[in-house]
Amino acid sequence: MSPASVNAHLAFTGYLGRRLHMGVCGSVAAYKALDLLRRFKDTGADTGVTLTDSACQFITPLSFEALGASPVYTGMYPVGDDVFGHLTPGDACHAFLIAPATAATLARLACGLADDMLSCQALAFEGPLVIAPAMNPRMWNNPATQENWARLKQRGHVAVEPGCGRMACMDVGQGRLADLDTIFLYTLRAMTPQDMTGQQVMVTLGPTREQWDGVRFWSNPSSGVMGACFAVAAWLRGAQVHAVCGPATPWLPADITRHDVTGAAQMYQAAADLWPRMDTGIFTAAVADFSPEPFGAEKFKKSGTETLSIRFTPNTDILKTLGTAKRENQRIVGFAAETGNLHENAVGKLRRKNADMIVGNIVGTPESGFQSATNKVFVADKTGRTEEWPVQPKTEVAWRILDWLLQM
């Protein structure tokens, strides 16, 4: 996978007009909040920050201001005219993230205390509260901390469990701040209108590998980024997502049910098992149409061989087979990766596969297709509507396709 596409499925940018507030507590992990701030600013969201007194011992308010956070709060009492700063996040923000959250802050939140600016703001905030703790494993495992954590989860707050590993103090166990991708996505989901709540969505993504001998296989350069964009976008919007993933496809958040497969037969079986209970199927995977007749488990030796002929047998056409079995209330989006005659081939595939929508693109260019962070697509649906979109991030393509589906 090219460096440009490694995290391309997480680079959503459609949050202009949304607002987030971040709380930062006194932990060695406080510096990681700067990376989170950068990522939220990249989405287009306006972001404010509140640092506790302890957090200011680890990192300065100026660091957040320099990265564009506004406003930035510290002490309990206001400086200047902002006498209602403890209420501002509750008046203006779509989500509130506390990362890292210390044991003291968990206790304040659990007990409803409001003796510093951050706890006041959290207590007055009626929207989604995302909490990502970080502390020493012994502090995390203390019964008092666990009781506070359980109470916060019972209240419906978005609880991002700390990770395991070696701490700054060299202790080993659970207590590390969770992976930033995880915190970022759970917070983004809290900021996103849940217009796909209750929907079951299946996405196939990546390549398949059709084994020939003990070390060789037939495949293609698909990275799975386009499908991963769909899986994450649908999950951000509230859907329950099943991702049928070919080899070497991108990381996905734990709430997306991942079904890892290797060959086309495995992908077909996994998709066929899931399909009867799905509302929508999005088939982005670059499935091998044919498989080589296997040589066997041993490595083929070229000694004395001047030429080589390999016979291929057809694989099940997953999109066509499941499209034929589609119920009236199910929707299918297929992809057409082409090297020419894009419009004609895409429209033809739409009819042949009994799909509701086909997204076609030309592969083999740096800005479109395999292993690219962007795509340039032609879209056609069963009503006869067609559109051609310019080069844009694959996250934006996925988001716009989901918008289109919701309108059909």
Residue bearing tokens 């206001």: 78
Candidate list 25, 56, 111, 169, residue with the active-site label: 169
4 in a structural domain: no
Q: Are residues 171 and 95 in the same domain?
A: yes
Domain boundary among 173, 191, 209: 191
Contacts for 299-306: CB closer than 8 Å, 24+ residues apart = 299/213, 299/214, 299/215, 299/216, 300/212, 300/213, 300/216
Output the pLDDT for position 4.
Answer: 47
Tokens of 23: 């709380």
Output the pLDDT for position 366.
Answer: 80
How many other CB atoms sit within 10 Å of the CB of residue 19?
Answer: 16
Q: Are residues 215 and 338 in the same domain?
A: yes
Q: Are residues 96 and 166 in the same domain?
A: yes
The interaxial angle of helices 225-236 and 394-407, nearest 10 deg, is 50
324 in a structural domain: yes
Provide the strand spans (E) within 288-349: 290-292, 312-314, 331-338
Q: Are residues 235 and 149 in the same domain?
A: no
307 in a structural domain: no
| Closest to 256 measured CA to CA, from 332, 187, 202, 325 | 202
The Cα 305–Cα 288 span in angstroms is: 27
Output the pLDDT for position 75.
Answer: 86
- Those residues with Cβ within 8 angstroms of residue 324's Cβ, 6 or more apart along the chain or in another chain: 354
Q: Are residues 102 and 246 in the same domain?
A: no
The helix/strand count (H/E) of the chain reads as: 13, 22
168 in a structural domain: yes
Q: Is residue 153 marked as binding?
A: no
Q: How many domains does the chain have?
A: 2
Q: Are residues 112 and 219 in the same domain?
A: no
Indicate the burial class of 119 (C-beta count within 10 angstroms; 0-12, 13-18, 19 or more): buried
* Type of residue at 243: A
79 in a structural domain: yes
How would DSSP label each residue in 228-281? HHHHHHHHHTT-EEEEEE-TTPPP--TTSEEEE--SHHHHHHHHHHHGGG-SEE
Q: Are residues 224 and 370 in the same domain?
A: yes
Tokens of 95: 């989500």
B/e letters for 366-399, b = 16+ CB within 10 Å, e = fewer, are: eebbbbbbbbbbbbbbeeeeeeebeebbbbbbbb
The Cα 220–Cα 231 span in angstroms is: 21
Average pLDDT for runs of 10 along the chain of length 408: 67 95 97 98 97 96 96 81 82 96 98 95 97 97 98 97 90 94 98 97 97 94 95 98 97 97 98 98 96 92 84 96 95 94 94 96 84 93 96 97 95
338 in a structural domain: yes
Tokens of 70: 């506004």
| Closest to 130 measured CA to CA, from 68, 210, 192, 58 | 192
Calculate the alpha carbon distances from 288 to 73, 260, 266, 292, 324 in Å. Answer: 55, 16, 12, 10, 20
Output the pLDDT for position 3.
Answer: 44
Beta pairing, strands 129-133 & 95-101 = parallel
Residue 26's domain is classified under what CATH number? 3.40.50.1950
How many other CB atoms sit within 10 Å of the CB of residue 345?
Answer: 17
How many other CB atoms sit within 10 Å of the CB of residue 357?
Answer: 22
8 in a structural domain: no
Domain boundary among 171, 191, 211: 191
User: Across the strands, what pairs with 242?
Assistant: 202, 257
Task: Kindly report the backbone phi and psi dihedral angles of residue 121, in degrees, each rounded to the nearest multiple of 5, phi listed first.
Answer: -65, -40
How would DSSP label each residue in 18-84? -EEEEEE-SSGGGGHHHHHHHHHHHTT-EEEEEE-TTGGGTS-HHHHHHTT--SEE-SSS-STT-TT
The Cα 267–Cα 202 span in angstroms is: 12
Catalytic residue status for 169: yes
Q: Are residues 43 and 180 in the same domain?
A: yes
Q: Are residues 72 and 161 in the same domain?
A: yes
Residue 252's domain is classified under what CATH number? 3.40.50.10300
Q: Are residues 211 and 288 in the same domain?
A: yes
The Cα 370–Cα 283 span in angstroms is: 15
Domain boundary among 191, 208, 225: 191
pTM: 0.94
328 in a structural domain: yes
Print the domain residue range for 380. 200-297+312-407
Q: Are residues 258 and 143 in the same domain?
A: no
Q: Is residue 299 marked as binding?
A: yes
Tokens of 298: 């041993």
Length of the chain equals: 408
The Cα 229–Cα 17 span in angstroms is: 22
Output the pLDDT for position 79.
Answer: 60
Task: Kindly report the backbone phi and psi dihedral angles of residue 190, in degrees, each rounded to the nearest multiple of 5, phi listed first.
Answer: -65, -25
